[in-house]
Structure 1
Amino acid sequence: MFLSSERGKRVLNFLYSWGASIVILGALFKLLHIPYANQILFVAMITESIVFFISAFEHPNKEYHWEDVFPVLKSKNPMDRPDFTGTPISTMINSTDNVEDDEIAGGINIGSAASKANAQRGGSLNIAGNLDVTEEDTKNLSESIKKLSGAAEQISKMAELTEATQKYLEQLSGMSENMERFSQVTHSLTNVSDTLLNSYKSITDNSDGISQNSRGYVHQMEQLNRNVSGLNTIYEIQLKSISSQIESIEHINSGLSRIREMYDGSVVDSSVFRNETEKMTRQLAELNQVYSRLLQAMTVNMGYQQPAQPQQQPQQPMYQQPQQPGYQQQYQQPYGYQQPQQAPYTNNPMK
Structure 2
Amino acid sequence: MSKKKGGFVELLYKTIMPKVYGIGAAVVIIGALFKILHYEGADQMLFIGLTTEAVIFFLSAFEPPHQEPDWSKVYPELGEDYEAPATPTRISNKPAGASLTQQLDVSLEKAKIGPELLDSLGKGLTNLADSAKKMSNLSDAAVATNDYATNVKKASTQLLEMNKSYDTAIKAVSSMSEASKDAGEYHSQVQKVTKNLAALNSVYEMELKDADSHVKNMNKFYESLTGAMTGLSKVGDNTAKFTSELGKLTDNLTSLNKVYGSMLTAMKGGGQNA
TM-score normalised by L of structure 1:
0.29
Q: Which has the higher contact order (CA 8 A, sep 6+)?
A: 2
TM-score normalised by L of structure 2:
0.36
Higher helix share: 2
